[in-house]
Amino acid sequence: MLSFEVVTLFPELFEQHLKHLPLKKGLEIGAIKINFHNIRDFAVDERGSVDDKPYGGGPGMVLRPEPVFDTVESIKRVSQDKSKSRVVLLSPAGQKYTQKKVREYSQLEQLILISGRYEGFDARIEEGLADEAISIGDYVLSGGEVPIMVILESVTRVMPGILEKAGASEIESFESNFVEYPQYTRPEEYRGMKVPEVLLSGNHAEIEKWRKEKSKPINP
């Protein structure tokens, strides 16, 4: 079982996501467990403060290190083997998230995911707490909750027993540095656009050849 530990200020943002596949099935069959940890539970004062103005000036507020460190350190580790657990900070400056990383995470027993908010987070969170920083793309979001949802879903769906057909995740886009070939279904013709004849031929060798030709390399 892989235990996801989500560190966030807004655990309620995940509620609907957990009611649908693949996370719903992953939870039902015991392939995954998802725990939420609210950073505000470890606020630095009675007002619930978790952020402050940045040193040196500038717009916005920055997440303070104390509540984030305290939240992560309160999480019980599932294994003494550090290779089985990972602390990941979601950051636009992090390493690009790829299908290779998806497979790597799926082999863990525990994945602690830290979501930032506001203008950012104190740099010491990445320096002294996270094992790595991950980015899902070269753009800016309001927080790390959506990127965490991406990780939760992508990792869960490659785990055994999640997809209906065994091995289905292994032939999908990005698994072999290619984007999957185009797919077609009924009707055979729609608004003048026809299904390629080869897919109707029943010639499996030719169909496989066509699919390989139509698969696009990730970095052409």
Asked if 116 contacts 144 with a C-beta cutoff of 8 angstroms, the reply is yes
Question: Is 138 annotated for ligand binding?
Answer: yes
Tokens matching residue 78: 């599932």
Average pLDDT per consecutive 10 residues, the chain (220 residues; last block may be shorter): 97 96 97 98 96 93 97 91 93 95 97 92 96 95 96 97 70 63 94 96 96 80
- Which pLDDT score is estimated for 167? 56
196: alpha, beta or left? (left if phi > 0; alpha if psi -120 to 50): beta
The greatest distance separating any two alpha carbons of the chain, rounded to the nearest whole angstrom, comes to: 71
Asked if 84 contacts 25 with a C-beta cutoff of 8 angstroms, the reply is no
Q: Identify the DSSP state of 20.
A: S
Task: Report how far Cα 168 is from the mean position of its chain's Cα atoms.
Answer: 19
Comparing 2-157 with 176-217, is the CATH topology the same?
A: no
Tokens matching residue 172: 């999908």
- Which pLDDT score is estimated for 53? 95
- Which pLDDT score is estimated for 42? 97
- Which pLDDT score is estimated for 78? 86
Distances (CA, A) of 86 to 63, 168, 177: 21, 26, 25
Phi, psi of 58 (to 5 degrees): 130, 165
**CATH fold of the domain at 2-157:** Alpha/beta knot (3.40.1280)
Question: Is 116 annotated for ligand binding?
Answer: yes
Distance CA 220, CA 214 (A): 13
Question: Is 139 annotated for ligand binding?
Answer: yes
Q: Looking at this protein, which amino acid is placed at residue 131?
A: D
Q: Where are the domains of the chain?
A: 2-157, 176-217
Architecture in CATH of 176-217: Orthogonal Bundle (1.10)
Distance CA 69, CA 147 (A): 20
Question: Is 56 annotated for ligand binding?
Answer: no
Distance CA 161, CA 26 (A): 8
Question: Is 141 annotated for ligand binding?
Answer: yes
Question: Is 70 annotated for ligand binding?
Answer: no
Q: Looking at this protein, which amino acid is placed at residue 11?
A: P
List the one residue out of 2, 13, 9 whose CA is nearest residue 149.
Answer: 13
Query: Cβ–Cβ contacts within 10 Å for residue 18, how many?
Result: 14
For the chain, the first-to-last Cα distance in angstroms comes to 37
State the pairing for strand pair 2-8/32-38. Answer: parallel
Asked if 2 contacts 113 with a C-beta cutoff of 8 angstroms, the reply is no
